Amino acid sequence: MAEGWDDITPAGDDPWESLAPGPRLAQALAGVNPDHLSGSARVAYLQATDRLIGWAHMRQARALVSVVEAVESATSPGEGMTSSHQASWVADEVAAALHIAPRTATHKVNAATALVRGWPVLGREVERGRLTPAQAREIYEGVSVLSGRCDSEGADLSERAVHALIRRARRLPPARLRERVARVVVSLDPEAAARRRQRAARDRTDVSLWTEDDGMACVAARGPAPDAVALNEFIAARARLLHDQADASDERTAGQWRYAALLAAFGLTPVGQSRVAGRPGDAGGADAVAGQAAVTDPVRVQIRVTVPLDTLFGLTDHPADLEGYGPLDPELARALAADADWIRWVTDGVTGVLLDEGSRRFPSARLARFIRAREPHCKHPSCGVKSSRADADHLPPHSEGGRTRATDMSPTCPRHNRLREASKWQAREEGPHDPLGPPDPIWISPLGRRYMTETAQVGSHDFIPRRM
């Protein structure tokens, strides 16, 4: 999905668009049937209910913390004394009251404590409707590894991270916010991030198996992100090759082909699948079996890592970005760079633009690669498709004057590109346009809501402090 976006639809006359979250907003919403509203007003009503949920969430959070204090007081072995069992007693109290499992109760208590005691600024933003509980959770869970660590001036690093993130967090969906949090955490304490990665690689790398219903089971592999991304890309590429070489009557799904590709890497064949004759000229011949017909065929796999140049030179500690995963600590980025093939993007010395292909309808492979490397996801506000699987799309459309050049094109997934007219979504460029940057249109929904997207930047460190 887009890096972030704002709803810039002009406010209407309905009271819930201006009321702060609280009893008055609840009363205003309760007296209205949203089915009687216009399309755009229904969306505004929906947004108001979400703000109200945040307010109620914080009321419950404070109630949970209050219960914690009461249980601790009631079970204290003596004045000023605590017991190691008190956390479980708190969970028992909350679980009984809310009809939930003790483990769920512990999770709710920990979340409430983070918002009320740990980082109260996040709690206030949730209560005011400026952050959703999910956005706040991504922040406090991500920065918790910095808690108790201080910078050279004695400031708590987790507090610094929260204040750096909170300015833009409301514009980011949780998935993009999680990446931004990780990037800030790595940048503030890169040495600790490297230590955590090394410890995790030692303690958590493994292959596991667990059973599921209906004769199914799951094999899961956990390991360093670059290895996992490369393996996933290999499986996807092998699956496409197997599918292309299979007989047209083979009706296996994309998931089944990926599974066959995984087994093929170990010389295995999916149980119960019929043999598939290779097409004329294919490796494996007529006796090849499904999942093995092209085992010896070469499959080219690339993992795409974007690294700031000053990080490579050791001048700063900005994290790199691994496509399909997210931020990598600088130490790992430099190690990967020491054993990598590089693509160099050279811009025009006058315009600063990579390439302008004028009236061509479709971009060259080079321009398309650059566009996908520049922006990591589909440009549509609500879409999370990776740019490697997206079209190089004209914004504005080619039929409306969009030119085949880097400043007029962005990655857009096939669904949001080819079905835009049918879905009634529109992308319009309004106001001044950065002559050296990517297109930055206003997206207009079928109900007339207007969304301004934030241009995604791989490895963005716009508010991450530099470490010279």
The tens digit of pLDDT for each residue in 199-223 reads 999 999 999 999 999 999 999 999 9
Q: How many domains does the chain have?
A: 4
- Band (438; pLDDT cuts 50, 70, 90): confident
Is there a single domain that holds both residue 157 and residue 119?
yes
Hey, how many other C-beta atoms are within 10 angstroms of the C-beta on 393?
26
- pTM value is 0.78
In a domain, 209, yes or no: no
Euclidean distance between CA atoms 324 and 318, whole angstroms: 18
**Residues 257-268, mean pLDDT to the nearest whole number:** 90
Is there a single domain that holds both residue 170 and residue 40?
yes
Amino acid letter at 263? L
Q: Per mean pLDDT, which range of 257-261, 300-304, 443-447 is the poorest?
A: 300-304
**Residues 366-393, mean pLDDT to the nearest whole number:** 84
313 contact partners, CB below 8 Å, separation of at least 6? none
Is there a single domain that holds both residue 174 and residue 162?
yes
Is there a single domain that holds both residue 30 and residue 150?
yes
Nearest in space to 47 (alpha carbons), one of 60, 34, 31: 34
**Highest mean pLDDT, choosing among 65-79, 288-302, 345-359:** 65-79
In a domain, 416, yes or no: yes
Is there a single domain that holds both residue 74 and residue 176?
yes
83 has a pLDDT exceeding 60:
yes
Is there a single domain that holds both residue 172 and residue 127?
yes
Task: Show the domain range for 311.
Answer: 305-337
Is there a single domain that holds both residue 28 and residue 77?
yes
In a domain, 214, yes or no: no
**Residues 423-449, mean pLDDT to the nearest whole number:** 83
Is there a single domain that holds both residue 310 and residue 276?
no
| pLDDT for the residue numbered 436 | 67
437 has a pLDDT exceeding 80:
no
Q: How is residue 146 written in tokens? A: 């910095």
Is there a single domain that holds both residue 254 and residue 314?
no
Is there a single domain that holds both residue 175 and residue 263?
no
Is there a single domain that holds both residue 282 and residue 384?
no
- Band (325; pLDDT cuts 50, 70, 90): confident
| pLDDT for the residue numbered 292 | 43
In a domain, 208, yes or no: no
Name residue, tokens 């096939």: 414
- Band (288; pLDDT cuts 50, 70, 90): very low
Q: Per mean pLDDT, which range of 80-94, 160-174, 265-279, 391-405 is the poorest?
A: 265-279
In a domain, 194, yes or no: no
| pLDDT for the residue numbered 127 | 97
Long-range own/partner contacts, residues 417-420 (CB < 8 A, 24 or more apart): 417/390, 417/391, 417/393, 418/391
Q: Per mean pLDDT, which range of 175-179, 357-361, 389-393 is the poorest?
A: 357-361
Peptide bond into 308 cis (omega under 30): no
| pLDDT for the residue numbered 286 | 34
Nearest in space to 438 (alpha carbons), one of 391, 386, 396: 396
Domain stops at, among 163, 188, 213: 188
Hey, how many other C-beta atoms are within 10 angstroms of the C-beta on 63?
14
In a domain, 218, yes or no: no
234 vs 339: which has the higher pLDDT: 234
Is there a single domain that holds both residue 97 and residue 16?
yes
- Band (299; pLDDT cuts 50, 70, 90): low
In a domain, 459, yes or no: no
| pLDDT for the residue numbered 343 | 62
In a domain, 57, yes or no: yes
